[in-house]
Structure formats: structure tokens, C-alpha cells
Amino acid sequence: MTTNGVAGLTTGGAKRGTDADAERNEPGKEAETVRGTAGQPGAVGRDVVTGTVVFDALGGPEVLSVRQLPLRTPAAGEVLVRVEALGVNRAEALFRSGGYYYLPTLPGSRLGYEAAGVVEAVGEEVTRFRAGDAVLTGPGIEMSAQGVYAERVVLPEDSVVRRPAGVDAVAGAASWLAYSTAYGGLLETGGLRPGDVVLITAASSGVGIAALQTAARIGAVPVAVTRTVRKREALFTAGAAHIVVTGEEDTVASVKALTGGLGADLLFDAVGGAGLAGLATALRVDGTVVVYGWLDGTSSVMPMNWPLTVRGYANQALSGSAPGRRRIDAWLASGLRDGTLRPVIAEEFEGLASMPDAHRRLEENRHTGKLVVRLS
């Protein structure tokens, strides 16, 4: 285990283009085909189409393709968003391959729920947005029907949140899901407090880095768990106070040594599976486990080192309510504004046609931070 004296934050990373321009479908019609003024309902021409990523069968990244789909007029309570950047998330890869908690509707399923963009038009009864507003997507999106991997997308008003001032599209596309999950899982569900030691698995993921920064922001002690020493320095830079490399040391023994034999207060786990029971023994008596993912792919084994609280966190339970979205938005905006929350961009890809490459990179598990696809 290694310890960080001062945990800095970082953005930046590699930028990846694609030489597949010749294979791209023609982009959707330009903004002038969308009629709408600030605060007024918008209409879309009958023949307008928009480039959209779809898939017809479960499988690897190769099942993804770009098609031109009709772009309908926003109905009452809906918002039309021109997408500028897309966050690529583990849940989307699971959905594409059939491993998510609900299955896609095939053929012709859409994909994706995290985008940054600009409102182009609104339907009747929309009160919180108007044309020209910079926004993020995320809450309550059913990916088969509403997936946001597209040049333009029509969504319910409640699935759109205002992008914090001063945040560009790439940072925005890397922010909402990661920081809402970290906030909801650690603070609202896990009850993390200043001085608490929190063990964070899958620490190099977008949510993992958001959890490191969220814990540090409130004065807790974030301990990153990673499988390889190669990611150590990047995790220190991202905000970890201590790092446990599972390939080199005994995780439970290292955490016990760090805490004077007491154990960590909270385990924030994205992996689950048979290893959960053993990892939970790194907690103190009456500690808390918050499981928010199942990357292991097998059934989790219930920890038996009681007394212990085990909670499963579903982001929709918090973001699906107006009060929950208000708290998430306040946390995210204030953290981005004061610099304590800064998304780490591992790599940028260009255009919808690069989405299979982005998914391949995601599944290599070699990156630290968030993968983002820019639409220009």
C-alpha cells in the first residue's frame, strides 16, 4: 500500500480520432431545420433525420452501427437536444452485450444515456428550459427507446438537467453519471462522514475517480483499490489518499494496517461477486457496504462479519425524484465551480462512427477516467 501526501486533481488525456470518415453516414440536417424560440415549443421538419447509433443483436462493439433515423417534433413536456459530446459508460457496454439489468429491444435498439448538448427546441408545457440552454442528460432514460448516442435526441424534460456554468461539453459528458452515483452512493446511502475511511473498488473508472474526489471533498479518507501498479500515480493525482494494489498485497491486511487494526468505515463496491464477502472483512465492526455495480458478473456472496450494513445503490432511485435531482445538481455545480470535482478524461474519440472503438477501449480496462466521444 502506498500513501499520498497531497492529492491533486487532473483533467486531460489522449485524443483519438478516426480514419473512418468515408464510412460515416451523412450527418442530420442542420439547426435551421429546427424551429423554436426561447421558451416556445419547437417543431421539426417532416423529413429531418439524425445520425443515431443502433444495434440489432447482442454482442461486442462490432454490433454498433450508425443509421439515419427520423427526428420527431418534441411533444408536450419534451426537449430536443443537439448533442455535442457523449460519455461512454460500463452500463452501456453491458446493455449492448446483454448483461445489464434489463435487456434491449431488438432489432434497432438505441444506446447511451449520458450526453452534453444544447437545447434546440422545446414542446408545450416545458418550463425549465428554452432554446440555447446548455444541458446534460442522464436521469430516467430507457436506452432502447431513448438512447442518446445520436446527433440530436428528443427526451422528457425530467431526463435533462442544466449544465453548470463554465463547463464545456467534454467535461459535461464525463460528469453527471459519475458524480451523481458517487454523491448518492457515498453520502446519501452510505452516510460517509468527515474522517471516515472509505474503500473504493474499480477506482480508476469514471465513478471510481468521482468517488475519490467526493470523499476527499467532505474530509473523508479515500482508499483506492486497483489491480495493477500501473495506475497508481494516476490515482494519486485523481484524489486517492492511499492505494491498495490487489496484485501485489493482501487488501484486507493492508486496510487493517492503515486503520490501526480497526478496518475501514465504508466499502463502495462496483464489482460484487464471490469476492465481496472477503473484501467486506476489511471493514470495522458495524461498517457499511454499498454495492453499486456487478462487474464480476456472478451472484454476490453475502458478507457474514456481522454486525454489518449492506446496501444496494441504484442511481435512478435518487435521480428519479425532483428533490434528488436538485441535490445532485447542487453538489455537482458547486464542486465543478470550486475545483474539488474535476472529471478526468482518459481519451477523446471523434464522431459517432468511432463508438465501436470507444467501446473496445472501455473493455480493455487499461484507462483511468472517462472515455468521451465528441460530435463536431
Encode pLDDT of 186-210 as tens digits.
Answer: 999 999 999 999 999 999 999 999 9
What was the pLDDT predicted at 17?
Answer: 40
pLDDT at position 47 is: 73
Instruction: Give the pLDDT of residue 42.
Output: 43
Which sequence spans correspond to the domains of the chain? 14-175+343-374, 176-317
Give the residue ranges of the chain where pLDDT is below 50: 3-43
**Residue 296: per-residue pLDDT:** 87
Axis-axis angle for helices 355-364, 90-97 (nearest 10) = 100
CATH topology for 14-175+343-374 is Quinone Oxidoreductase; Chain A, domain 1 (3.90.180)
**From residue 336, how far is each of 61, 204, 237, 274, 342 by CA, in Å?**
32, 19, 17, 36, 6
**Would the CATH topology of 14-175+343-374 be identical to that of 176-317?**
no
- What's the pLDDT at 1? 56
Architecture label for domain 176-317: 3-Layer(aba) Sandwich (3.40)
pLDDT for residue 45: 54
pLDDT for residue 10: 31
Residue 46: predicted pLDDT: 59
pTM for this entry: 0.86
- Alpha-carbon span 304 to 317, nearest angstrom: 27
